[in-house]
Structures are given as C-alpha cells and as structure tokens.
Amino acid sequence: MDSKDLFGLVGGALTSLSLVPQIWQLFRLRSAHEISLTFSLLLLVGLLCWLAYGIVYSLFPVILWNSISVALSAAILYAKLKYGRKPPG
C-alpha cells in the first residue's frame, strides 16, 4: 500500500465516521427537526456520485468509505423522515 492509498483510507475513515455522532444523537433524542431535508438528500446523492466514481476508476478507498458513508447518510435521511417534525408547542 502506498501513501496515496493510506491518505485515502485515513481521510475517508475520518469523514465517514464523523457522521456517527450525529446519527447517534438523532436516534437518542428522536429529534431531527434541526436537520435540513435538503442537506440530507444532497449529501446522499453526492455520496452516491462519489461511490460511482470510485467504482468506475476502481479506487478502493473511495469505494470502501463512500459505501459506508452512503449507509450512514441513509440513516440520517431515515431519521429526518421519521423524527423530523417539530415538537408541538
């Protein structure tokens, strides 16, 4: 493994795993009205584009971490759709 792949693996891990605390908070509080639906959709579509790019060019770090990020982003979108209403009052 060369340094280019190492940078890709570390960078991908850090950016992908940065979504985990947000997801944890969304499901713990059962509240997602603070999260923008537009953000959630754009993030998911952008990650799917990056995943397709990685597949087309056979870039393992891009495929690995964007696959994980797609799943995490889908969890954010799910939470937004499930818990996105503002609380009454």
pLDDT of residue 89: 58
State the pLDDT at residue 88: 61
What token pair was written down for 82?
């499930």
Q: What is the pLDDT along the chain (89 residues), one digit of tens a residue?
A: 788 789 999 999 999 999 999 999 999 999 999 999 999 999 999 999 999 999 999 999 999 999 999 999 999 999 999 999 776 65
Specify burial of residue 69 (Cβ count, 10 A radius: 0-12, 13-18, 19+).
buried
Token couple for 60: 């393992």
- Cα dist. 72→1, 4, 6, 66 in Å? 27, 25, 22, 9
Q: Provide the pLDDT for residue 66.
A: 97
Q: What pLDDT is stored for residue 65 in this prediction?
A: 96
The token duo for 8 is 């890709």
